[in-house]
Structure 1
Amino acid sequence: MTGPRANASQRRILYIDCYAGIAGDMMIGALLDLGLPEAHLRARLALLGPLDYELEVRRAARHGIVGTDVQVHLDVPLKATGAWSFTPVASTSAPFTSLKEHGHGRRYREIRALIGDSGLSDLEKRLALAIFDRLAVAEGKLHGISPDEVHFHEVGGVDAIVDITSAAIGLAWLAPDEVVCAPLPVPRGTVKCAHGTMPLPAPATLELMVGAEVTAIDGHGEWVTPTGAAIATTLATRYGTIPSMAITAIGYGVGDRDPPSRANLLRLIVGTAPSAELASDVVLETNLDDSTGEAIGYLTERLLAEGALDVWVSPIVMKKGRPGVTVSVLTDPGRRPHLERLLLSESSAIGLRRVPVERYKLARRIETVESTFGPIRVKVAFEGETILNRAPEYEDCRRAAEAHRVPLKDVFADVLRTMGKP
């Protein structure tokens, strides 16, 4: 699956279908199930040096669906400051709230040195460090300390290092041009961690979800772990339903639990799509002259949350010289009926216009740049083999600016300088 594309005009897309959540071990299992050679993974992990663990890989089923189950067994006694996995316990608020914690905690600077000094490839290092960097920034913000000084209670153990590095190895092997992630599921309940009992999502997980799409689900317990959230939000270039593509491979990663409500599986779907795509879409428009700014802002947020490709508001002058706005909604034909109903129900409009359009989309991929302020993802747009544009990801730049207490524009400028772009 790796190597040069048979057709240079095709781009590879990875879809993370986390309908039942995501954890580090589930990601490893799904990558192996997708085709990542186990021998390759073990050989690359060995480059980290001796970490006193054993990787168990086996086939397992959830609700009749067979996938790959991965367990990281540690050769050290259980501790109260390690990485977690699920353990079901009796609870009036949630059937799965207890956590089995093990492994030795480490500060981020120690983890960074461990990975940076290893024999992994530059790409594998960048991906692994980018994931850990998101964790460090999230934890540092919660506790009011520098990311370098963060001591990872829940994700600092050997198993988390193996989980995150394995995800980086798998992504480097797969080499997708784009990673799309389904909305992250958020259930009800509480979780027990080193900081005590906390509502779900756990504080670090919730902080990592900033900028991501989430969806509420029925059920209790933790479906997205901090490690899983860090992996998904670092790798994803966007969120939503599965994109248009020709499916080439599917992998299932098995989770620790087997609840009756849904199969505890992480599904990775790989496909190909043309490098530049011509899409037939629809623009919905309506004119408003009696809505408040708050109402229009709310309408815009709702339309985007419900799947609109883009929404914009333009000032106009209507009949009798009344100032107003045109609300324009770009959508694919499949979502058009739903967004039309939403546009009419959430505004004072009594009608709208449909304008068929063709939308030409450049291919894009995400690259990680090692800036002065840490790893920053950069969106690269290209046509064929020609790169036409590069743009640093805003959320990464914002987090770096907050973590290092520097102006946002300084982070953007540093990334552009690192890329050699004036």
Structure 2
Amino acid sequence: MEDFYIECSPGISGDMLLGAFYDLGVPKKVIEKPLIDLGLKDLYHLEFKESKSCSIRGIKAKVENIEYSPIKRTWKSIKELILNGNLEEKLKQKIVEVFESLAVAEGNVHGIKPDDVHFHEIGAIDSLVDIIGVCAALNYLNPRKVYCNEPMLGRGFVQTEHGKLSVPPPAVIELIRQNNIEVLSSFDSIEGELSTPTGIALLSNLVDHLKPPSKYSINSYGVGIGNLQFVFPNLVRVYKISSIEYRSLNQQINPRFEEISIQEAWIDDQTPEDITNFVEKLRIEGAYDVSYQAINMKKNRIGFSIQVILPIDKREYFRQLWFNYSNTIGVRERTQSRWILLRRRGECSTTFGNVKVKQILKPDGSITMKPENDEVLRLEIEHKISTGEIRKIIQESSKKFKAFENWK
């Protein structure tokens, strides 16, 4: 499994993304198979052609509508078509998620229920091909993580079924609001639609991180060319990358490198009970660890210093936790690197029965094991013997280990 980075240069659309995946090496038959399985093969013609934008080569995906008697489909009917189709469950779910977000956005814009959104408001047959094709391509590539930079929106007007609409279209604004997507304003003076509703819907559902990785190497890439002509290249690039912690062909490199985020604040206007509740909230929400201690602050007040170690992709979420669940009016934040030994959770058979334990893989290949502390406490209460004795008995009597997860 590899990581992928979608570069909006400067915007994003479904057909450009589809062209980039094809250029990256996804076979056309992979893109079209779910469309054929859904009975749509006679409604469109898909062509991938070499093209250029400001002398930069790439692939342009062109979808021709050959539906002779167009049906006015609603999102409800499209959803039934997909859910009843003979598709892989993971792929089916992803396609539904993309269309659902688009239908909800269009429904909010027009003041109607998502199920009643008409198909022309989600696009036409080209939207079906773009969305299903991109989801199929990503399912085929099976990425570990997908990154993306912030897209740009443009300005001016775009022709739609509802007449001329200002850029960005209402559905794009709604999708950005719903998914808290950050956008860049650098090209807002450029006339034209740089990012389409379909493109933004795909990003909001398929991307894990709406920021590029801090360090990476490029293994290969594909370029998708757009239809509009600008004074700059109108394209989307998809990179197959190795981020720094996964550059080794042996992904079980030990110890493993990763970047983490550290957030901290000093608080002098909350009770110890409130601080305890907040610290527990941080742990429940996925912090790697939380530490806190009483400190002397200004005006001789006793306060608390709270420090949280958390996954780097949860920085924004944890900022909101600080401001919503504590009295602090500011949070200090920094990014740090760490090296960690691989570990995995599981259970061992012992004279106490099955006991939950954690294995740690040392750099020399040896494995150490320690029982989970909750298990030690449970056994101490049940058998009324000391912690030291519990650990000694587990160590001496442990036999078969059953892993609950892979090394990580």
Q: TM-score, normalising length from structure 2?
A: 0.61
Distance across 1 between alignment mates of 2:194 and 2:103: 21
Letter in 2 for 1:318: M
1:284–1:329: 8 Å Cα contact kept in structure 2? yes
Determine the structure 1 residue equivalent to 2:237. Answer: 267
| Equivalent in 164, 170, 184 of residue 215 of structure 1 | 184
Trace 1:198-277 onto structure 2 (pairs within 5 A). Answer: 198-209=165-176, 210-218=179-187, 219-260=190-231, 262-272=232-242, 273=246, 274=251, 277=256
Greater Cα offset, 210-219 or 62-71? 210-219
Distance across 2 between alignment mates of 1:104 and 1:67: 33
After TM superposition, give the deviation of residue 228 of structure 1 in Å: 0.6
Determine the structure 2 residue equivalent to 1:194. Answer: 161
> Residues 154 and 139 of structure 1: is their aligned pair in 2 closer, same or farther, counting only changes over 3 Å?
closer
Query: Is residue 24 of structure 2 the alignment partner of residue 24 of structure 1?
Result: no
> Residues 282 and 148 of structure 1: is their aligned pair in 2 closer, same or farther, counting only changes over 3 Å?
closer
Q: Secondary structure at the match of 2:147?
A: strand
Distance across 2 between alignment mates of 1:355 and 1:115: 42
1:124–1:169: 8 Å Cα contact kept in structure 2? yes
1:181-222 Cα offsets, whole Å, 9 max, x none, are 111212232333233443322111111113222111221211
> Residues 331 and 116 of structure 1: is their aligned pair in 2 closer, same or farther, counting only changes over 3 Å?
closer
Distance across 2 between alignment mates of 1:246 and 1:128: 30
1:137-196 Cα offsets, whole Å, 9 max, x none, are 212222333221221333241111111110111011011121111112122323332334
RMSD: 4.0
1:318-364 Cα offsets, whole Å, 9 max, x none, are 243257897989999xxxxxxxxxxxxxxx99xx998966275999x
Query: Is residue 57 of structure 2 the alignment partner of residue 66 of structure 1?
Result: yes
After TM superposition, give the deviation of residue 75 of structure 1 in Å: 1.9
Determine the structure 2 residue equivalent to 1:113. Answer: 80
Q: How many residues align?
A: 296
Q: Secondary structure at the match of 2:229?
A: coil
After TM superposition, give the deviation of residue 247 of structure 1 in Å: 2.5
Distance across 2 between alignment mates of 1:112 and 1:156: 15
> Which structure 2 segments of 5+ residues have no match?
269-287, 312-328, 344-359, 362-408
> Residues 243 and 172 of structure 1: is their aligned pair in 2 closer, same or farther, counting only changes over 3 Å?
farther
Determine the structure 1 residue equivalent to 2:149. Answer: 182
Distance across 1 between alignment mates of 2:137 and 2:8: 17
2:46–2:61: 8 Å Cα contact kept in structure 1? yes
In the TM superposition, structure 1's runs of 4+ consecutive aligned residues that sit over 4 Å from their partners are 274-277, 280-289, 314-317, 322-332, 352-357, 359-363
1:154–1:194: 8 Å Cα contact kept in structure 2? yes
> Residues 356 and 37 of structure 1: is their aligned pair in 2 closer, same or farther, counting only changes over 3 Å?
closer
Letter in 2 for 1:55: L
After TM superposition, give the deviation of residue 127 of structure 1 in Å: 1.6
2:259–2:335: 8 Å Cα contact kept in structure 1? no
2:261–2:333: 8 Å Cα contact kept in structure 1? no
Determine the structure 2 residue equivalent to 1:131. Answer: 98
After TM superposition, give the deviation of residue 283 of structure 1 in Å: 5.7
2:154–2:195: 8 Å Cα contact kept in structure 1? no
1:247-280 Cα offsets, whole Å, 9 max, x none, are 32201111111211x2111100112325785236
Determine the structure 2 residue equivalent to 1:157. Answer: 124
> Residues 184 and 324 of structure 1: is their aligned pair in 2 closer, same or farther, counting only changes over 3 Å?
farther
Determine the structure 2 residue equivalent to 1:375. Answer: none
Distance across 2 between alignment mates of 1:198 and 1:325: 53
Greater Cα offset, 319-328 or 173-182? 319-328
> Residues 327 and 129 of structure 1: is their aligned pair in 2 closer, same or farther, counting only changes over 3 Å?
same
After TM superposition, give the deviation of residue 286 of structure 1 in Å: 8.4
Distance across 2 between alignment mates of 1:355 and 1:231: 29
After TM superposition, give the deviation of residue 65 of structure 1 in Å: 1.7
> Residues 224 and 317 of structure 1: is their aligned pair in 2 closer, same or farther, counting only changes over 3 Å?
farther
Letter in 2 for 1:265: L
Trace 1:309-348 onto structure 2 (pairs within 5 A). Answer: 317-321=296-300
Query: Is residue 138 of structure 2 the alignment partner of residue 171 of structure 1?
Result: yes
Letter in 2 for 1:168: C
Distance across 2 between alignment mates of 1:205 and 1:111: 21
Letter in 2 for 1:18: C
Letter in 2 for 1:59: E
Determine the structure 1 residue equivalent to 2:44. Answer: 53
Letter in 1 for 2:165: M
Letter in 2 for 1:237: D
Letter in 2 for 1:358: R
Q: TM-score, normalising length from structure 1?
A: 0.60
Structure whose alpha-carbon radius of gyration is higher: 2
Distance across 2 between alignment mates of 1:362 and 1:207: 42
1:318–1:324: 8 Å Cα contact kept in structure 2? yes
Letter in 2 for 1:267: R
